[in-house]
Amino acid sequence: MRAILDIILILLQLYIYIVLASVVFSYLVAFNVVSRRNPTVAAIGDALYRLTEPVFAPIRRRLPDFGSIDFSPFVAILIAIFIERIIAYYIYPYVP
């Protein structure tokens, strides 16, 4: 059982890195550092969008409108850290 919990913790940490990569990518596109016309950049953007949008969309629906600022990545990271802490402090020590 501990191996499954370890895998879940690793996947949560990996997802946090994917969310951070998505945020950095969106800033690079917004400030015209990279162009989405490049096929490689477009493929990376599409992959990041497909990995993060299923989590971001429900969070965006529940958050109030802040204009052009999107707080859904921040909330998604906080939720992932919260789940990590629950597993590490309350579930992991009691699993044989």
Q: By residue range, what is the domain housing residue 61?
A: 2-94
Q: What is the pLDDT of residue 1?
A: 85
Q: What is the pLDDT of residues 34-79, one digit of tens each?
A: 999 999 999 999 999 999 999 999 999 999 988 889 999 999 999 9
All residues at 6 or more sequence positions from 1 whose CB lies less than 8 Å from its CB, including other chains = 95, 96
Indicate the average pLDDT of the chain. 94
Q: Write down the pTM of the prediction.
A: 0.91
Q: What is the pLDDT of residues 76-94, one digit of tens each?
A: 999 999 999 999 999 988 8
Number of domains present in the structure of the chain: 1
Would you tell me the crossing angle of helices 39-62 and 72-86 to the nearest 10 degrees? Answer: 80
Q: What is the pLDDT of residue 84?
A: 96
Q: CA 63, CA 65: separation in Å to the nearest integer?
A: 7
